Structure 1
Amino acid sequence: MKNTQQIYGIRAVIEAIKSNEPIDKVFIQKGLKGDLSKDMETLIRKNGISASYVPIEKLNRLTKNNHQGVVANISPVAFLTVEELVENVLDQNKTPLFLLLDQLSDVRNFGAIIRTAECTGVDGIIIQKKGAAPVTADTIKTSAGAAFRVPIAKVDHIKDAVFYLQASNIQVVAATEKTENTIYDVSFKEPCAIIMGSEDVGISPSILKAADHMAKLPLLGEIGSLNVSVACGVFLYEVVRQRQELLK
């Protein structure tokens, strides 16, 4: 299994960005100064790369090497654009199934979702460039290697992906408790994409408004929600159940 790679040093990070390496996150020392660091930060912003400003102690824990105030994590998998992902799937003449993750932040939840996505025939997963859980060695391990098999696309904002999918005649279904409709009231037999929200706040209100349908899971106990990876699995297997009915 290929682990997440780390690079350090301002020039190394600049060259990695210019070479289109799949950088998940950059850690920058608070108060870092100099023209070269400004050039690096401009590149980071221009390319929509997630960055955090941290104390030097954090960088020292990340690497024992001379980091010059910056450490970057390179993902073990390559990412597509949403256009590449959708066009590749539509060219296959199948009924597409996509998964959108709105600000999911836990790498193990992410890995578990990727694993279930592979098992249920999901054609691709779409995440946001900033704020989303990175693809780390833990993600790969939790996914049981499925992260190498399910294409992943990154977008500036999940709403951009929603609009692009809708323009491609793919209905978008939001998994949320803020509706009276359950997953059994929604048809997943057509081309569709399911949005799952973050662990703490769910799907952003603006994205909920943009979705074609909203659906919830019926909860019969006292606890008001399921773990997001478990909920995602239930949604995806409802898609499998409905689509298998078409084959009978």
Structure 2
Amino acid sequence: MTEDTKIYGLRAIIEAIEAGKDIEKVYLQKELEGDLFKELESLIKSKRISSSYVPEIKIEKLSKGRNHQGAVAKVAPISFQDFEITINRIIKDIESPIFLMLDQISDTRNFGAIVRTAECTGVSAIIISKTGSAPITADAVKTSAGAIFNIPICKVDHIKDAIYYLQSCDVKIVAATEKTDNTIYDVPLTGSHALIMGSEGRGINPSVLKIVDYKAKLPLLGKIESLNVSVATGAFLYEAIRQRQ
């Protein structure tokens, strides 16, 4: 896999966003001014695209001598699927699907490893938030062993809104969290379910935990208090498979 596809220049990035390109992140040069720059800023905000303000030296490094006008965008190597259309199609076509929701998993390689496990365990779709999630880079594609091209990935504005929509479709929501007395072995996973995994640092957002149907944890018998999120995801998904067999 070559380096991520990039778009250089203010006008080019604006046109790409307006054309519906899946932009992973936009890097903007600090203290840049002008009407075109403000137009891009406004568009980034309205479309909830991840962005960072960086020094000129960082922009120069990203652009490698190309005319950048103070802005460089990274384009995702995959096309994201429409959330509602994807969910409706899957629920119609598949009996008791499993969905995977990632609440701001920020490490690219963790994300790739999770996608690989999800594909191997028959997850029907992965749902991530537009902000705070790991960018889908060449590392993510490599770590997923290509699985990232075989499973629908949907980006949503808010994880909570996605949960409410899934619940309206009779999909039960299971949160992987240590803030419960129930282990994964106490929770039924035989119907239509969506599993939520939290970020590496803070776990699942407390406001999200308030609206889920079930909370479950993995028993930890050693001295270390947590597992890597990709490993934990695998344990949860294979327990779902065990229950369904």
TM-score, normalised by the number of residues in structure 2: 0.98
| Equivalent in the alignment of 1:23 | 23
CA contact (8 A) 1:29 1:56 kept: yes
Aligned residue pairs total 244
Q: Is the 8 A contact 1:127 1:152 kept in 2?
A: yes
- CA displacement at 1:95 relative to structure 2: 1.2
Per-residue CA deviations over 1:73-101 (Å, capped at 9, x if unaligned) read 00010011220220120121321110000
Kindly provide the CA deviation profile for residues 132-154 of structure 1, in whole angstroms up to 9, marking residues without a partner as x. Answer: 00111100000000000010000
| CA gap 1:2/1:159 in 2 versus in 1, 3 angstroms | farther
Name the counterpart of 1:49. 49
Q: 1:91 to 1:2 in 2, by over 3 A?
A: farther
| TM superposition shift of 1:4 | 2.4
Q: How much has 1:45 moved relative to structure 2?
A: 1.1
Q: Is the 8 A contact 1:2 1:76 kept in 2?
A: no
- Aligned partners of 1:103 and 1:127 also within 8 Å: yes
- RMSD (Å), alpha carbons: 1.0
- 1:113: which partner in 2? 114
2:203 maps to what in 1?
202
Report the equivalent of 1:222: 223
Q: Distance in 1 between matches of 2:68 and 2:92?
A: 44
What amino acid sits opposite 2:134 in the alignment? A
Question: Conserved in 2, the CA contact under 8 Å of 1:106 and 1:133?
Answer: yes
Amino acid across the alignment from 1:5: T
Structural mapping, 1:127-206, within 5 Å: 127-206=128-207
Give the drift of 1:66.
1.6
Q: Which blocks of at least 5 consecutive residues in structure 2 are unaligned? A: none
The verdict on how the C-alpha distance between 1:100 and 1:2 changes in structure 2, with shifts beyond 3 A counting, is farther
Secondary structure in structure 1 of the residue aligned to 2:93 = coil
String of CA shifts for 1:98-147, please: whole Å, max 9, x gaps: 00000100000000000000000000000000110011110000000000
SS in 2 for 1:91: helix
Shift of 1:3: 5.1
Percent identical residues: 59
Letter in 2 for 1:115: R
* Distance (Å, rounded) in 2 between the aligned partners of 1:36 and 1:46: 15
Q: Shift in Å at residue 2 of structure 1?
A: 6.7
Gaps of 5+ in 1: none
Instruction: Tell me the SS of whatever aligns to 1:15.
Output: helix
Q: Match of 1:45, SS? A: helix
Residue type of the alignment partner of 1:221: G
State the distance in 1 between where 2:126 and 2:240 align.
15
Counterpart Cα distance in 2 of 1:161 and 1:183: 22
SS in 1 for 2:43: helix
Report the TM-score, using the length of structure 1 for normalisation.
0.96
1:40 paired to 2:40: yes
| Kept in 2: contact 1:4–1:76 (CA 8 A) | yes
